[in-house]
Structure 1
Amino acid sequence: MRVLVTGHQGYLGTVMVPILQAAGHDVTGLDCGFFAECVLGPEPKDPPGIRVDLRDVTVDQLVGFDAVIHLAALSNDPLGALAPQITYDINHHASVRLARSAKAAGVRRFLYASTCSVYGAAGDGLVTEDAPLQPLTPYAESKVRVEDDVAALADESFSPVFLRNATAFGFSPRLRADIVLNNLVGHAVLTGEVRVLSDGTPWRPLVHARDIAAAFLAAMEAPISKIHCTAYNVGSEANNLTVADIAQSVADVVPGAKLSITGETGSDPRSYQVDFSAFRRALGFETSWSVRDGAAELFEAYVSEGLTEHTFTRRFTRLPHLDSLRASGSLDESMRWVKAAV
């Protein structure tokens, strides 16, 4: 297939593109370049790409593609809380506009990167795709709105699927340090301490970036009858862990690291365990990476590539990086590139 991947220069896109290419697909990227230079280790080899703000994508730019994989978003809760309107403009309105444009361009398949955080404070038990959606942040709320609005576009010529990814982890050449496992391993490497500020009791479902890529590949290649206008949780029940369990996995693989659960921020209301069996039944999909394996992978990469405190906290953490682009005059207040900077 000829595939367009939005956000191909992001954390997930940088991992996903080579996996799609290895499966024989012709991949083009679309990205505005916020995180293109946020690289740890050798420079990744990007596919041919379209440099454009998601809010400005045109129908003509989408003509000729068989599928759009939509990953691009302002991706984390602190950023969404700081600039909720921009989060909605990009993550919701621009995403729905992208889907409408894709349909108008004749694109048959539209794969949307949603999130298990749409379940919010789900309480005890495993939540399925039919569970009530209780998003607690602008980021999660924007995902719910996109699912609803894009589902309304579905027909015999346009087939969306909504992949609700568990919290991602694992190494990517374009690293993110502000997701739980990546963050805990980084602090353990840099400080010798695995430090948890909450009481450690909230549940989190986790999934490796490479497993997310494999899930998108499986959905894109699946018969349309199995994925048409359907939401699927992506992950593994084995990786439903408490924050304390995740932290212990880090302490187990980082030599000499001391585990400290301070409890100073109390209990996080975002707590949920997820049932991933629907995707497994529909497509036979199984994940490959455990949290412990991911922690070991990250430890090895951080050490071998010379991770520093500055790059960890500034370059690879979304909010400080975007703040630095705004402070330097590269981005304006609406999170658009200033022409001189581009």
Structure 2
Amino acid sequence: MRVLVTGHQGYLGTVMVPALQAAGHDVTGLDSGLFADCVLGPTPVDPPSIRMDVRDVTEADLSGFDAVVHLAALSNDPLGSLAPQITYDINHHASVRLARLAKDAGVRRFLYASTCSVYGSAGETLVTESAPLRPLTPYAESKVRVEDDVAAIADSGFSPVFLRNATAFGFSPRLRADIVLNNLVGVAVLTGEVRVLSDGTPWRPLVHAQDIATAFTRALEAPIEKIHCAAYNVGTETNNVTVAQIAAAVAAAVPGSTVAITGETGPDARSYRVDFSAVRAAFDGYEPRWSVADGAVELYRQYTRWGVSEADFTGRYTRLIHLEKLRAARLLDSSLRFQPIEAGHG
């Protein structure tokens, strides 16, 4: 299958592309390059690609593809809260526009990377895909809007599927340090302390980046009529854990580290446990392979192998700070588009 992956130079995209290629798909990437240099270790080998902001895609760019895997987004809650309009422009408006153009170009399958954050605060109950959606951030709200708007244009020739990923973790050659397990392991490696700023009680569903890639691969392979316009939670119930449990797994993985639960930010309103039975049924018994404990060990080994520095961990690998640095260097304009490179003079 000929597949276009938007955001192929991001944290998930860098893991997703090799998985799709290994399954025999012909992959092309599309990315503006915002996070292309956020590399820890050897620079990954990218597929043939289109360097383009997702807001600028045309129907011609999508012609000839069998499927679009849409990952490109501003995927960070603090960033979304700081610049909500840009978040909506990129995550909502550009995503719906992309889906419409894909449909017009004859693309049959549209795989959308949504999030379990759409459930917001759901307490102790295991939430299924039919649970009420209570997004608490502009990022999560944008995902809900895309699901609604893209579902509205589905028909016999255009089949979207909405993959609501649990909170991602695990090593990617293009690292993110601003997701919970990745962050706690990095801080423990750098400081010897697993520092939890909340009270540690909120529930989080976690899933490894490689297991997300497997779910998307299965979605491409599933009978189109079986998954047409459906939403699936991506993860496993065994990785429904509290933040305090995540911290304990990190302390076990990082030698000599200790846990400090400060509670200084107060209770986090986002707390939810998720039911993943639908994705197992739809994708031939799909089951994530990575536990939180295994992911903590993997991250510790990779951080120490490649020598992650405090400057990079809190800068290059943290989405909001990285984008602020690009803007301060005048490489990005106010809409987070790359500025044109001015020609030299003599």
Q: Is the 8 A contact 1:330 1:341 kept in 2?
A: no
Is the 1:6–1:29 contact (alpha carbons within 8 Å) kept by the matching residues of 2? yes
User: Structure 1 segments of 4 or more deviating over 3 A?
Assistant: none
| Superposition deviation, residue 341 in structure 1 | 7.4
Equivalent-residue separation in structure 2 for 1:135 and 1:264 (angstroms): 23
List per-residue Cα deviations over 1:225-255 (Å, max 9, x = no partner): 1210000000000000000000000000100
Aligned length: 342
Deviates more, 1:275-284 or 1:248-257: 275-284
The CA distance in 2 between the partners of 1:39 and 1:296, in whole Å, is 20
In 2: Cα distance, 1:192 partner to 1:263 partner: 19
* Aligned match of 1:162: 162
Aligned-residue offset at 1:281: 1.2
Residue 329 of structure 2: aligned partner: 328
- Hey, what's the Cα distance between the residues in 1 that align with 2:152 and 2:182? 36
Q: Helix, strand or coil for the counterpart of 2:157? A: coil
Partner of 1:255: 255
- SS of 1:125's equivalent in the other structure is strand
Matched ranges for 1:147-296 at <5 A: 147-283=147-283, 284-296=285-297
TM-score calculated relative to the size of structure 2: 0.98
Looking at structure 2, the residues matched to 236 and 327 of structure 1 have their Cα atoms a distance apart, in angstroms, of: 40
Equivalence for 2:105: 105
Letter in 2 for 1:71: L
Distance 1:166 1:85 in 2: 24
- Residue 302 in structure 1 maps to residue 303 in structure 2: yes
CA distance in 1, matches of 2:43, 2:223: 35
Determine the C-alpha separation between the residues in 2 that align with 1:155 and 1:309. Answer: 49
Match of 2:122 in 1: 122
Amino acid at match of 1:289: W
Any unmatched runs of 5+ in structure 1? none
In the alignment, what sits opposite 1:82?
82
Helix, strand or coil at the partner of 1:75 = coil
Q: Are 1:73 and 2:94 matched, yes or no?
A: no
Match of 2:26 in 1: 26
Displacement of 1:79 after TM fit?
0.2
Deviation at 1:125, TM superposition (A): 1.1
1:339 alignment counterpart: 340
Shift of 1:51: 0.6
The residue that corresponds to 2:312 in the other structure is 311
Task: Indicate the RMSD between aligned Cα atoms, in angstroms.
Answer: 0.8
Query: Structure 2, unaligned stretches of length 5 or more?
Result: none
For the residues of structure 1 that align with 2:205 and 2:231, how far apart are their CA atoms? Answer: 17
Q: How many Å apart are 1:265 and its aligned residue?
A: 1.2
Could you tell me whether the CA contact under 8 Å between 1:15 and 1:172 is conserved in 2? yes
Secondary structure in structure 1 of the residue aligned to 2:121: coil
